[in-house]
Every structure is written in structure tokens, then in C-alpha cells.
Amino acid sequence: MTSNDMDYLTIALPKGKLFEHSVSMLTKIGYTAEGLSENSRKLVIANEAEKIRFIITKTADLPTYVEYGAADIGIIGKDVLLEGNKDVYELLDLKFGFCRMMVAVPQALKQEKLSDYAHMRVATKYPRVAESFFHSVGIQMEIIKLNGSIELAPMVGLAEIIVDIVETGRTLKENNLVEIAQIHPATARFIANRVSFKMKFDRINKMVEGLKPLIESESKA
């Protein structure tokens, strides 16, 4: 970490569904910059007066930027943290962007208990989480890593089961899938690089203390 890095607080924001609410929360506690937009062509957006820098990254990459100190802090979904297993501090549950990680199968394949699905193929964007879950319940499965529409896998015979995140469950119903187990609820989390948290503790802690009442007021709304 250079002396110039020490002058700035670098915040990583994720592209996608968490971006707008993340920016809204940070703006309310005084952290923003001119031109801060998900569609900005700038790679780094700075507020020179407040010595704040924002970087906007792909969701899956954000914890890596924080882990290696390219960003001091960031906002990311718990599902991404579980899958990435990065060495970062998880400082706050921001309590927005709620979804749940779950297991689903086609309606026609629904069984009475989880053990009845042993040795089937599982399609998922979250192979680490899926493998850990099935290991925890004593079931051996074949895990297939996908990046696109997971619901397609059972429809074309690639896999019998999926592990994915859902919000309302509407997409499952539209594709004749039923949820058979919940793995973990997921919300947006405020994370920090371990070194930055020590070196820039006052600035980061100020943000944490500013976010706490905001989280509480929004959760009651």
C-alpha cells in the first residue's frame, strides 16, 4: 500500500442488482462522486475533495479486489462471499438484496427425502457451495459448473438438480421446478480488506457507524 493509496478510501461496487441501492445508501451517509454510474466508461471514479475512489466491478470479481487490497471496502452479496471464500472482513449485513440459495428439481423428479437424489447431477453457478451442502447432508453428487441460465440444465438433460439463488421463486415455477431445500439466505454485505481495516480504521469505522442507523431505519420501513 503506497502513501498515495493511504490518502484515498477505495470503494468497490458491484454491477447488477445491488448497484443502485448501494450507491443510494453510501450517498445518504456522504460518500459519492460526480459521474458515479453503473454505465460509466471510467474505470475509477474519484471524489478528489473527499479523497474517495470508486471502482465498479463484475459481481464475482469484487471480493478479489477487496482481498488483495485494490479496494479497501466493498458491497457484495452473501452468495458471492460463500462461493468465493475470500479472506476479507465481513463488517455489516446491509439487509437489502434479499435472496436465498436453494436446491430445486423438476416437479416430476421430486422425491420424499434428500438422500433419494444421491449420485444425480447438479448444475450450478456455485459449485463450492453446492458441494459443501451435499457433503454436509451426506450425499455424493456430480457437480456441473455453469455460468448462464441454470434452469435450462434440467430441461435439456444436462442435470437433474440445480443449486441457485432465487428471490420470489417465480422463475422456478415458470420452468416447472420446485424447491426441495434451502442452503442459505443471502443479502448484501459490507466487507473490508484486512490490512485496510487496520490502516484506515477511523475512516472505515466511520462508515460502519453511519450505515448502522440507516440499515435499521430501512429495515423498519
Contacts (Cβ under 8 Å, ≥6 apart) of 189: 75, 76, 77, 78, 81, 90, 91, 92, 93, 94
Sheet strand arrangement including 121-124 = 142-145, 121-124, 161-166, 99-106, 177-186
Residue 208 pLDDT: 97
Q: Which residues pair with 166 in a beta bridge?
A: 100
The fold of 3-97+187-220 is D-Maltodextrin-Binding Protein; domain 2 (3.40.190)
Closest among 191, 195, 187 to 86, alpha carbons compared: 191
Residue 3 pLDDT: 46
Name the segment(s) of the chain with CATH classification 3.40.190.10. 3-97+187-220, 99-185
Please tell me whether residue 176 adopts helix, strand or coil conformation.
coil
Tell me the C-alpha to C-alpha distance, in Å, between residue 92 and each of 2, 5, 69, 106, 178: 27, 24, 19, 36, 32
* Top CATH class, 99-185: alpha beta
Residue 50 pLDDT: 95
Residue 113 pLDDT: 92
Residue 4 pLDDT: 56
Residue 189 pLDDT: 98
Contact between residue 29 and residue 207 where contact means Cβ atoms under 8 Å apart: yes
Q: Give pLDDT < 50 ranges for the chain.
A: 3
Tell me the C-alpha to C-alpha distance, in Å, between residue 40 and each of 46, 109, 198: 12, 45, 31
